[in-house]
């Protein structure tokens, strides 16, 4: 068998299990009452302390995952949570992600997350998601899913 054929066969064998694991992870995440309300992410669109919104709308899921991956990689050279948060805000802006409008967002796919420890009861847990927005569009969402999140 050619290596590509072996790889394709392995992918087909593993992919249903991977899909089930991803679905189970999403369902577990959605059941957490600090993340969702009745299975939906409810955002108010309110800004706190001039730089904090609980969610940022990105054009697609891939953009949201790119934002999270960039912040995670920044931890290699940026050691402070304040600096990492600055990188998060810059990458969100550079990728065209905007503060999410008020409304309920339906989680469809759970992506990676990155945690920022900003001090006592000030942690942020930014998660990339594929969601259905209140306007019906399927978009990417960068969402602070921490228990300390403000909305």
Q: What is the pLDDT of residues 25-65, one digit of tens each?
A: 899 999 988 888 999 999 988 888 778 899 999 999 999 99
Residue 94 lies in a domain: yes
Residue 6 lies in a domain: no
126 or 46, greater pLDDT: 126
| CB atoms inside a 10 Å sphere around CB 137 | 11
Residue 49 lies in a domain: yes
Report CA Rg, the chain: 17
- Of the chain, the end-to-end C-alpha distance in Å amounts to 55
Q: What are phi and psi for residue 86, nearest 5 degrees?
A: -60, -40
Nearest CA among 121, 149, 147 for reference residue 56: 149
Residue 150 lies in a domain: no
Q: Across the beta sheet with 41-43, what order do the strands follow?
A: 41-43, 103-116, 124-132, 138-144, 55-58, 98-99
36, 28 Cβ separation under 8 angstroms:
no
CA dihedral 118, 119, 121, 123 (to 10 degrees): 20
Structure confidence at residue 3 as a pLDDT band (50, 70, 90)? very low
As a whole number, mean pLDDT of residues 100-127 equals: 92
Structural domain of 106: 32-144
Nearest CA among 137, 118, 135, 136 for reference residue 126: 118
| pLDDT > 50? residue 7 | no
Structure confidence at residue 79 as a pLDDT band (50, 70, 90)? confident
Q: Return the pLDDT at 15.
A: 57
Number of domains in the chain: 1
pTM: 0.84
Residue 20 lies in a domain: no
Residue 149 lies in a domain: no
Residue 15 lies in a domain: no
Structure confidence at residue 6 as a pLDDT band (50, 70, 90)? very low
Q: Return the pLDDT at 22.
A: 85
Residue 5 lies in a domain: no
The pLDDT mean for the chain works out to 87
Strand locations in 5-123 (E): 41-43, 55-58, 98-99, 103-116
Handedness of CA 29, 111, 65, 37 (dihedral sign): negative
Nearest CA among 61, 31, 68 for reference residue 130: 61
């Amino acid at each position: 068998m050619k290596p590509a054929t072996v790889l394709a066969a392995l992918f087909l064998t593993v992919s249903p299990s991977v899909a089930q694991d991803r679905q189970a992870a999403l369902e577990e995440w959605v059941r957490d009452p600090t993340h969702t309300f009745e299975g939906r992410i409810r955002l108010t669109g309110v800004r706190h302390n001039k730089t904090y919104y609980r969610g940022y709308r990105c054009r697609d899921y891939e953009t949201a995952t790119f934002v999270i991956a960039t912040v995670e990689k920044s931890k290699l050279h940026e050691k402070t949570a304040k600096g990492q948060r600055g990188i998060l805000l810059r990458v969100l802006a550079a990728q065209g992600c905007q503060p999410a409008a008020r409304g309920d967002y339906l989680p469809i796919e759970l992506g990676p997350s990155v945690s920022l420890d900003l001090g006592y009861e000030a942690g942020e847990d930014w998660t990339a998601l594929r969601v259905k927005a209140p306007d019906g569009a399927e978009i990417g969402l960068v969402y602070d899913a921490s228990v300390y999140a403000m909305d």
